[in-house]
Structure 1
Amino acid sequence: MIDDLMIDKYKLSFLPQEVLVGSHICYFENTEIIMTSEQIKNSATLYYLVEGHAKVTFLSQEGTMSLIQFFYPKDWIGELELNGVTTHSKQVISIGKTRCIGIPRSLVQKYLLNNVVYLQNINHYLANKVLKRTNWMIVHKSYAFKYRLATFILDDSYEDRYSEPHRLVMEYLGVSYRHLLYTYKKFEEDGLIYKLSRNKYQIDSKKLRLLYIDA
């Protein structure tokens, strides 16, 4: 059950009381899978992220992984799958310690799908999701690559540790392998990151924060 303190803290008053009583807090550790497309189709829990952040990855039939986007507090996880909208094989992975409200499918179907307040909230959320993604593409392309990479590293890191395959970063940021390695090297020379091993870095978050794109 979600108590009154949590309702106030996470601003959950838009959810019906029956949903709050039957829902629960879910805790996820760093790199733990919050959900996959297959899980949400079968086990049916709708998540509302309230603390921490996560990343969404897509797994192709060839087994290669691509990063789609990041999730932050007030993001819904699994809302499309519950409505049968998407069939992509994707998973949501916690970055650091993450806390979500878990709402069982039975409560979603019984109390939310016909609830005007919830439907207004989810429609507003989905519209903003599209606008934020479009804005992200427009704004980020107007910045030099070092700012985009610094922002990505901070969003993707936990406890000042960062590790992602070069191919995934190249695809997500739309940059060449050569330019990516050059910028990593420049960051190392400037003391923004320190290479620990292959694709693994210790970062200076304070220095990187000066390059962060807050948009």
Structure 2
Amino acid sequence: MKKINDKKLLNYYIKKHNMDDILDKDIIPYMELHYYEKGEQVLIPKSNLLYYYFFIDGKLKIFSLLENGKSILLEFYTTFDTLGDVELLKDRPIVSNVEAVKDSYLIGIPTNILRKKCYNNPRFLRFMISSLSKKLENTSNNSCYNLSYPLINRLSSYLLEHITDKDYIILNSTFNDISEFLGTTYRHLHRTFKKLENNRVIRFDDGRIYILNKGELRRLSKNLYR
């Protein structure tokens, strides 16, 4: 993580997302612009939440590790959102893993400052209630998708979320990790990849996954994880 000391850029993001309508003016001097590179961990479970984050640009992946060592994909962040709502309110260690899928910018506010200054701010509290409600709904929906939809739909949606403007994907996760994210086995995942390749939707070449038919991939994805 890098702290970006650019007040002009910070103020641009604050105005762009109307954050001054959520927070009191005396909070703004404590706001910091943080930059995370692709593949970098933003939040690590069981560690203390030092910053309450507003995600403002890039792409994040949120997932949870289970007691049996497996992991479950919860959500992707691609638009303005927050990290640390439960941890901030409950004063508890971080619950879920958060990883940057693309280079990402976040605005962080020290949690000790927020707890002192924002609990009496009804605008901020209403914002947090709305944020938590949306997260609960999305998590519930994604869990239902993993139980209800065939793997080819879940995998297509997963791949679609990793596409860059170059129309190919370099997966940082192993097949074992991806199978755990999608709630399946390594063998089933491998067979499903081969099916997409045989149907000329994708092509593997030199460690990259090239998207040959983005329209078909989008149709198969059914926007499950968006």
TM over 0.5: yes
In the alignment, structure 1 residue 37 sits paired with structure 2 residue 42: no
Which residue pairs with 2:169 in the alignment? Answer: 161
**In structure 1, C-alpha distance between the alignment counterparts of 2:183 and 2:70, rounded to whole Å:** 15
**In structure 2, C-alpha distance between the alignment counterparts of 1:105 and 1:202, rounded to whole Å:** 40
Counterpart residue type for residue 214 of structure 2: K
Equivalent position to 1:97, from 103, 110, 115: 103
In the alignment, structure 1 residue 118 sits paired with structure 2 residue 124: yes
In the alignment, structure 1 residue 182 sits paired with structure 2 residue 187: no
Query: Which structure 2 segments of 5+ residues have no match?
Result: 1-6
In the alignment, structure 1 residue 70 sits paired with structure 2 residue 75: yes
Report deviation, 1:127: 1.4
In the alignment, structure 1 residue 20 sits paired with structure 2 residue 25: no
Counterpart residue type for residue 23 of structure 2: L
Report deviation, 1:112: 1.6
Report deviation, 1:86: 4.9
Count of aligned pairs between the two proteins: 209
SS at match of 2:97: strand
Query: What per-residue deviation string (whole Å, max 9, x for no partner) do you get for residues 131-159 of structure 1?
Result: 12222333565544322110012224555
**In structure 2, C-alpha distance between the alignment counterparts of 1:180 and 1:61, rounded to whole Å:** 22
Query: What per-residue deviation string (whole Å, max 9, x for no partner) do you get for residues 98-157 of structure 1?
Result: 111111123212222221111111111111211122223335655443221100122245
**In structure 1, C-alpha distance between the alignment counterparts of 2:126 and 2:33, rounded to whole Å:** 23
RMSD: 2.8
Q: Contact 1:56/1:90 (CA < 8 Å) preserved in 2? A: yes
Counterpart residue type for residue 28 of structure 1: Y
Shift of the 136–69 alpha-carbon distance from structure 1 to 2, 3 Å rule, reads closer
